[in-house]
Amino acid sequence: MVKIELTNGDILRMNLKNRSREKTLRDAWYAMSDMLNQKDKVLKIMSYTGNEYRLKVEEIKNCEYSPTVFDNSVPEMQKPAPLPRKIYENSIRTPPRGSAELASILHKKATDLFNLFDSIPELHKRNMLIFLEAIKQQNIPFNFTDPILLDIAAEAMKEEDPQKLMQHIRRYIDCWRSKK
């Protein structure tokens, strides 16, 4: 029996019409697989059942010979098993939802965000937008995890004097760069 693993993942298992050539096929592929000038060589393989395969040497990932007889009740060509989806420990399995239900959930979340933004006083919104635009122009991200940077940002949001707002922005940028 010959087992041929293809580069696309498919696996061929078969006996050849001439059983004495099975080991020869494996040896020929092994010899040619290392030679660059033989990569485009086409191997014409005729199985015991009459199926003909034309495979380039480079299309074959591995070729093995076994003296056993192949059971012709199963197909010669086998597709690879699909890879299991990786599930992370903290992931939550949720049933698939329809697009209408998903749109409803997204709409509710967007409404909640707009209501939250509307509850912020106008001075704080203006300061927040100025602050975020200033650090964006300096290619500095807003850091949600550093308590010192968050305190500087909170002070900037409450600031009434535009000159002091700029001082908070400079403090934030300097503090971020010193931690980098």
d(CA 50, CA 82): 29
Report residue 130 CA to chain centroid gap: 36
When pLDDT is averaged across residues 128-148 and rounded to a whole number, the result is 89
* Phi and psi angles of residue 113, each rounded to the nearest 5 degrees, phi first: -65, -40
What percentage of the chain exceeds 90 in pLDDT?
25
Q: How confident is the model at residue 81 (pLDDT cuts 50, 70, 90)?
A: low
* Domain spans, the chain: 2-78, 118-179
Q: Who contacts 156 (Cβ-Cβ below 8 Å, separation ≥6)?
A: 127, 131, 165, 168, 169, 172
Helix or strand run (H / E) with residue 129: helix 122-137
Q: How many helices (H) and strands (E) does the chain have?
A: 5, 6
pLDDT at residue 51 is higher than 80: yes
* Phi and psi angles of residue 122, each rounded to the nearest 5 degrees, phi first: -60, -40
